[in-house]
Structure 1
């Protein structure tokens, strides 16, 4: 292994450590607790080393968002591949999405709520964000209905899931009724 390859590998390891530590700290204490000073202390590197990887917290949030989008896409695909039938796949998609949001609130916020400097629904949207949307579209296109653009249908279904996830987490919806909400969403929006 060349010196250059070793340096690149060490850099990638440091970057992974920064992102993992930011994510862990955000999940434990919220994004307000994630500062470059605290991250530097936790990973035992100086702040200038941190700044060689990320220009600041915004880029760190963006890195967590991209990692989370990859995980969300994988969770949705795994859930929908494990069942047969369009209704079952759409229900599995909705449950996997809501489960991801509930289990990873800080990551979910990084993807959908916080400014990580990422472009959404644009030509320059990063690939992990496009892939997360594609994971939804793959399942939802088959239930969009005649004359309905599958992408538009996916946006509306996704927006509904996002609303349920966000309102549930903020305790603005009655607890324990998620299954009924999913069933209603699938029944009303999906053409089965």
Structure 2
């Protein structure tokens, strides 16, 4: 291995250590505890070295946001591919969003601004994979095209789904801190399934 390759490998190793240390801080203490200084202390490097890989904390948050969208995208894609009808695909994809939110709450909070500022990632930030929202929109558009009213507004349908789903997820993430919350798993699933099936029926009418 030449000197150039060694330097590149060392650079990649340091970057991975930064991300691993940052994620450990987040999982143990939450996003508010994350700082470049904390990461530097954790991996025993000086702060300038950390800034050499990520120009700011925002740049680091964007990298974590990309990772979250990549994980969500894969989960939503798998849900779609596991079903054949558009209705079943759409229901499974939204339920995949739900499962992701509670399997990966730290990522979800960062990606969608629950209890913190939202770190938005655009399509240009994630060029290597198809965003989950785009996958869902494609199914909604196809469903509308095959419905009795192909002139329906796909954006309006998407945001109706999204408002209900994200609202219920956010309530649950916040209510986890509240004793005697009525938001049981069965209660949530009933609300979510009723809402999704109801909107799907309204599209097909």
TM-score (norm 2): 0.79
- Which residue in the other structure is 2:165 paired with? 161
**1:88 aligned partner:** 88
Task: Name the CA distance, whole Å, in 2 between partners of 1:72 and 1:11.
Answer: 28
Q: Which runs of 4+ in 1 moved over 4 A?
A: none
- Decide which structure has the larger Cα Rg and report it: 2
Offset, 1:79: 1.5
- Of 170, 186, 190 in structure 2, the residue corresponding to residue 180 of structure 1 is 190
Q: Is the alpha carbon distance of 1:115 and 1:58 closer, same or farther for their aligned partners in structure 2, counting shifts above 3 Å?
A: farther
Gaps of 5+ in 2: 176-180
Unaligned regions of 5+ residues in structure 1, if any?
A: none
Equivalent residue for 1:25?
25
Question: Whole-Å Cα distance in 2 between the matches of residues 164 and 20 of structure 1?
Answer: 30
Q: Give the deviation of 1:115 after TM superposition.
A: 4.3
Aligned-residue offset at 1:73: 0.5
How many angstroms does 1:29 deviate by? Answer: 1.4
Describe how 1:19-168 pairs up with structure 2 within 5 A: 19-113=19-113, 114-116=117-119, 118=120, 120=122, 125-127=124-126, 131-144=131-144, 146-168=150-172
**Normalising by structure 1, what TM-score?**
0.84
Q: Tell me the C-alpha RMSD between the 2 structures.
A: 2.4
Aligned residue pair count: 188
